[in-house]
Structure 1
């Protein structure tokens, strides 16, 4: 019987992964294994490794990239592939997608963030509110909203950071997430932050609801996914979550393309995640 391993967060990570583990057991069977990504042991005997719960990898980048190198060297059967995981770890991929004509949230990169960088970004984007975040980040780690005149957070000064104009729609309308398995659309949700916040993560008070896709949303999602596949030389991504929002002019813009450890919100899928399970089984048969 094919043996599947899902890589999970470090033992001391703050967020409880047991509900997600239960979901994956329900979909993939009780015999799947779970290994902490920080100390996964020997993975060579698994038929498929999935990094779906490697939460917190951004907190130990050297160890994360060392693991990716190890997986590559040992030719571990992993999906999405190591080349995709490495590329998707750094959110500067947004600039590459923009070069491929994907409409993304406008983004600048500062190699060593200063107040002058923020002033230049305000002028470039024509805004008095910015969002800054590390290029390798997750779970809103190191993410700040800054208005003109507010102090630069000490822990971010001098670090490599992404700078983006704050998008009011995140609080007014929400963030759209679309889910694809082996290139096929599964479901979509709308995530909203808690009142007074702009971060949509559940542990920060965010909420989500299943929705039908507005006009233009799927088109952008497919364009972004296909652009990434072409860039990376991958025929089809096993799984992808595409996050986007509406800009002040009414255009949908890509926020993130989640190809490593996206929450997949199976509770909002009409089939409860059956498409995902079928995709994994098809991958196993293909590689057998």
Structure 2
């Protein structure tokens, strides 16, 4: 066995207090990074004892509690000297109203009705819809409702009303049934290059409930199709400031009623990267970090 090179860089893999040692997927690149002379260690984003200036780079990973501290989180991002992805991207991407920007840029996005905090709750009278806040992750405060059913319609209106009363923007989207069969495809990019993809099964089976920090998912390896890659690249091309500044990106797409992929989310802040589902993904991520450090 050859000796590892002397450390030339020190990076933080940024997490939250509930996962101080990261989760299993986030640990995967630590050894490949060490092989490239990069020491990686977990650091909790809102721990006042952390000296962020001591790191050559802070890489946001499992900061999944930020939705309860959004303003503090984006203010923290602004203070970190070297952050991936950059702080202005974090500010833009942690509020799903960014989907409006992408739709205006011509990216095929899941049709969305936006209810701002001063809006009156008006919902469709039939069909299955998803109701969720614009600042959210892990399916928290997110529910699927059959709006032709009076009881479910009341639950959907109650969720929307509560969120609006808390000053939160609400999204109402049609439930795309292809997620129950084809599933959702997450397309992963490191350093601007396609790395791998995974299939995610359906998450929403009813009204919103308490899912904790995140909801367990059915994950399997998948190869992205040309049409999925095209939509993913369209979305990345529309990122403010340019996608060349991104260390990582996850683009979640789903087939619409006609079978064409549409964008569900563009994850540029703290997405799971599913490194364990592709044999070379941890090494590709480590290579991307090494290249990012050389900029």
Name the TM-score, length of structure 1 as normaliser: 0.85
Name the CA distance, whole Å, in 1 between partners of 2:106 and 2:13. Answer: 34
| Structure with higher RCO (Cα < 8 A, 6+ apart) | 2
What's the CA shift for 1:257?
0.5
Q: Which residue of 2 aligns with 1:23?
A: 28
Q: Does residue 139 in structure 1 map to residue 138 in structure 2?
A: yes
Equivalent residue for 1:218, pick from 215, 229, 232: 229
Structure 1 SS opposite 2:93: helix
CA distance in 2, matches of 1:226, 1:198: 35
Question: Equivalent residue for 1:34?
Answer: 42
- SS of the aligned residue for 2:225 comes to coil
The structural deviation recorded for 1:232 is 2.5
Native 8 Å contact 1:190 1:209 kept in 2: yes
- Could you tell me how far 1:135 is from its partner in structure 2? 0.6
Pairs within 5 Å for 1:175-186: 175-186=184-195
- Whether contact under 8 Å (2:112, 2:171) holds in the other structure is yes
Please give the alpha-carbon distance, in whole angstroms, between the structure 2 residues aligned to 1:197 and 1:172.
17
Q: CA RMSD in A?
A: 2.6
- Alpha-carbon distance between aligned partners in 2 of 1:272 and 1:184, rounded to the nearest angstrom: 12
Gaps of 5+ in 2: 1-7
Q: Which is worse superposed, 101-110 or 213-222? A: 213-222
CA distance in 2, matches of 1:114, 1:147: 22
User: Which residue of structure 2 lines up, in the alignment, with residue 267 of structure 1?
Assistant: 276
- 1:45 shift after superposition: 1.8
Any conservation in 2 of the 1:171–1:198 contact (CA below 8 Å)? no
Paired with 1:17 and 1:172, the residues of 2 have a C-alpha distance of 32
TM-score, normalised by the number of residues in structure 2: 0.83
**Residue 232 of structure 1: SS of its match in structure 2?**
coil
Where does the alignment leave 5 or more consecutive residues of structure 1 unmatched?
none
Aligned counterpart in structure 1 of residue 155 of structure 2, from 152, 157, 163: 152
